[in-house]
Structure 1
Amino acid sequence: MTIIQDIKRGEDIEAASMAIIDSEVPLPRPYQGAQWQVVRRMIHTTADFEMLRLVRFHPQAVEAGVEALLRGCVLFTDTEMARAGIPDRRMDALGCSVRCLMRDAEVLALSSEQGCTRARAAMDFAVSDIRPDIYVIGNAPTALLRLLEHIEAGRAKPALIVGMPVGFVNAAESKDLLLRQSVVPFIAIEGRKGGSALAASVINALADLALAQNKGGE
């Protein structure tokens, strides 16, 4: 027999979902503390418990991300979907801004001129003009690969990379390169899985942690 829960408010649905996730991942969990808050949000976004074995954290990733958000940082996303998935209510409360250049006329022109993806061209503009503190990459391996090139050349050193490009061509490989570098803190997913919604969910989890820290300091 199918039993439909009578829950009407969005915040109550979210709380019930989180409680179900907690109950289905018994202690001891593979992630603890703030890392669990991030992974739990990712599972909530996807209903995919395989996140429990795929998510990878640089040791300073959560701390670096929260600190950047608390100082009102600039974030760059490789898709409009990821940008839309990070609500203004969270970013405005922290004094942060989120930029995506995929529709920018100069990016489109550079992409056409160089015969490269818009994501790669957008990354060049982001590194040179915006200089974000946090890069949120949920779709394009070319964006992550180009960012890693900039980091290796010393042209970029962000506070955090959320590296979750999805797909079959260079997605797993680009994330493997991200995991191998030690210059910049990262939160990533091994293998082919990823996506804009997942990348955005990481920022939302970090933002909730930052907002809670702000409230606790009042």
Structure 2
Amino acid sequence: MSENNDSGKATISMGASTKQGYEIAEKSREIVKSLINAKTKDLTPEEQSIVERIVHSTADPDYADITRISKNFVTESLRAIDQEKDILTDINMVKTGINSYSGRVDCYIRDERAVKIAKKEGITRAAAAIRVAAQEGFDGIVAVGNAPTALLEVLELHKTGEIKLNSVIGVPVGFVGAAESKQALKQTEIPYIITEGPKGGTPIAVATVNSLINLNKGNKA
């Protein structure tokens, strides 16, 4: 969520909805900025805003060291959000955390087609869900917070031209395949944000998407 200050510019409320909540969010934001300011000085203001929200959501300043953002990620992501393109998530938990978006947020992991594809092809349901999204003509932003197999499927379908992407939030968590899948994304021309190594997860994906939504609102303020 966002609110307007006296100058008319949007400020990040970090999800707060009461006066006390806003005060806590602002104090937290000041603490986060003091912890990571030196690490984010080479980022654009928009990129700094995203990293700040990630650190705030995780209470882990290390994310300022391991977050990597391609030069065109913010531009392409904001364009997609402004056009209300779809957002695709790997699991429903990420979908549930995305708020205040007027476009569609989809997740097909519980879709019967994904279940059937997973069984038939011997792949994870997360990967199969990406295939279903491609069959549905997905075009927009993909946010992967948990399943490396979903991210790898996105890359494969992009390579074959079966899925349209504005950008990819590739932050799966874990010790098996997560780091490798993120490095594979980094090697493509797709606009991306990743967290290097095994760290990542739902909070990172959600924080990134919600930060982009707030940035888009701020641009219209």
Counterpart residue number, 1:166: 173
Q: Deviations over 1:74-105 (max 9, x none)?
A: 00000111011111xx203xxx1100111111
> Are 1:187 and 2:203 an aligned pair?
no
> For 1:106, which of 95, 108, 113 is the aligned residue?
113
Q: Deviations over 1:182-210 (max 9, x none)?
A: 1x101111111110111111011111100
TM-score scaled by length of structure 1: 0.88
Q: Is the 8 A contact 1:81 1:197 kept in 2?
A: no
Q: Say if 1:208 and 1:121 are closer, same or farther in 2 by CA, change over 3 A.
A: same
Q: Is the 8 A contact 2:139 2:163 kept in 1?
A: no
Shift, 1:30, TM fit: 4.4
The percent of aligned pairs where both chains have the same amino acid is 33
For 1:159, what is the secondary structure of its paired residue?
A: strand
Shift, 1:24, TM fit: 2.3
Shift, 1:154, TM fit: 1.9
TM-score scaled by length of structure 2: 0.87
**Distance in 1, Cα, partners of 2:137 & 2:161:** 16
> Are 1:56 and 2:62 an aligned pair?
no
**Distance in 2, Cα, partners of 1:170 & 1:104:** 24
* Greater mean alpha carbon deviation, residues 200-209 or residues 30-39: 30-39
For 1:167, what is the secondary structure of its paired residue?
A: coil
User: One-letter code of the match for 1:62?
Assistant: V
> For 1:71, which of 71, 80, 83 is the aligned residue?
83
Counterpart residue number, 1:41: 53
The structure where helix makes up a greater share of residues is 1
Q: 5+ unaligned residues in a row in structure 2: which ranges? A: 1-17
> For 1:147, which of 131, 147, 154 is the aligned residue?
154
Q: Is the 8 A contact 2:87 2:141 kept in 1?
A: yes
For 1:56, what is the secondary structure of its paired residue?
A: strand
Q: Say if 1:26 and 1:147 are closer, same or farther in 2 by CA, change over 3 A.
A: closer
Shift, 1:40, TM fit: 0.3
Counterpart residue number, 2:14: none
User: Where in structure 1 do 4 or more consecutive aligned residues deviate above 6 Å?
Assistant: none
**Distance in 1, Cα, partners of 2:216 & 2:37:** 26
Q: Number of paired residues?
A: 203
Q: 5+ unaligned residues in a row in structure 1: which ranges? A: 1-6
* Greater mean alpha carbon deviation, residues 133-142 or residues 18-27: 18-27
> For 2:205, which of 193, 199, 206 is the aligned residue?
199
- Residues 110-121 of structure 1 aligned to structure 2 (within 5 Å): 110-121=117-128
Q: Is the 8 A contact 2:53 2:211 kept in 1?
A: yes
